[in-house]
Amino acid sequence: MEKSNLKLVYLAALTYATIIGLSFMFVKIALRSANPLDILAFRFSASFLAVIIAILFGWAKLNYSGDRLKKILPLAVLYPLLFFAFQTFGLQYADSSEAGIIQASAPIFTLILATYILQERSNIWQKFSILLTVFGVVYIIIMKGAFFNITSISDFKGIIFILLSALAFSGYSVMVRPLTKEFSSIELAFMMVIISFIGFNLIAIGQHLWAGTISTFFSPLVNMEFLIAILYLGVLSSLITAVLTNYVLANLEASKMVVFANLGTVITIIAGVVFLKEQIFYYHIIGCILIIGGVLGTNFLGDKG
């Protein structure tokens, strides 16, 4: 790959990490007005509207024939539908810190799957670098006081759900690579959005109908703060990151791409300090150095021994 193209790929990966890192701040804002499932429904409704606008204005060309749909549908179900569903249900039982530790392990799962399914090769330095990004995230979370405390079936259930969420993301990252030669990044992203829009709205509305609270479903939309958060999460953090992810995976090994998700932790910490006036401690700095070092090592130590 030419250096100019490679720079563009890494710029896309960094943009992805930045958007994901900032998304946690907007999730916190959205949670002030709605529950997690409703947020997912509104989030992908915003994504779906953006897709419709793009199609109407001719900004995107799509070719979803029957045979092509059969190839792409399973992946669209895997991510983001199952990824977010498992994550949401897991957070009902597990602490967010525990979830963060498990979610950070996604690069390890991706490395294993990419090695055996795609025959991707990585040297000892790259393997060490991947572990370094994982350790950086885990170190920050542990130093904040998180620890695993499995005292009931519910705790165990939460950990299993979060583990399945990480596996869903890793599985998607690996399985989508061959399809990037046949589908454009936009075609892959749009189908991901459409499936999630249908799935999460059915789940959220069904839950409200069952509880007899359907009249409250749309009430958060009168809150401008909530609307801004949903637009960010739906358009940037779901649709645009899906396009960026597929573009990067079309040009970069899955094991190299997925470590950028952990780089989002660094962005989250910076955003918390700058926008939410949160405190930063020495362990944040050490963890961030480990994560950044791991991302650089994974991507630039490929030609070492």
Domain membership flag for residue 59 = yes
Give the model's pLDDT for residue 137: 85
Give the total number of structural domains in the chain: 1
Domain membership flag for residue 29 = yes
Residue among 250, 233, 287 at smallest CA distance from 19: 233
Give the model's pLDDT for residue 41: 96
Give the model's pLDDT for residue 305: 42
Domain membership flag for residue 33 = yes
Domain membership flag for residue 230 = yes
CA 286/CA 303 separation, integer angstroms: 27
Q: Is the pTM of this model over 0.85?
A: no
Kindly give the confidence (pLDDT) of every residue in the chain, 305 residues in length, as a single tens digit, with 9 standing for 90 and above. 566 688 899 999 999 999 988 887 888 889 889 998 999 999 999 999 999 999 898 888 777 777 777 888 888 888 888 888 888 787 777 655 556 667 777 888 888 888 888 888 888 998 999 999 989 888 887 887 655 555 555 567 777 888 898 899 889 888 888 888 888 888 889 988 999 999 999 999 999 999 999 999 999 999 999 999 999 999 999 999 999 999 999 998 888 888 888 888 788 888 878 887 778 888 889 989 999 999 999 888 865 44
Range of the domain at 198: 3-300
CA 72/CA 70 separation, integer angstroms: 6
Domain membership flag for residue 305 = no
Give the model's pLDDT for residue 73: 85
What does the H/E/C string look like for the chain?
CCHHHHHHHHHHHHHHHHHHHHHHHHHHHHCCCCCHHHHHHHHHHHHHHHHHHHHHCCCCCCCCCHHHHHHHHHHHHHHHHHHHHHHHHHHCCCCHHHHHHHHCCHHHHHHHHHHHHCCCCCCHHHHHHHHHHHHHHHHHHHHCCCCCCCCCHHHHHHHHHHHHHHHHHHHHHHHCCHHHHCCCHHHHHHHHHHHHHHHHHHHHHHHHHHHCCHHHCCHHHHCHHHHHHHHHHHHHHHHHHHHHHHHHHHHCCHHHHHHHHHHHHHHHHHHHHHHCCCCCCHHHHHHHHHHHHHHHHHHHCCCCC
Other beta carbons within 10 angstroms of residue 152's beta carbon come to 10
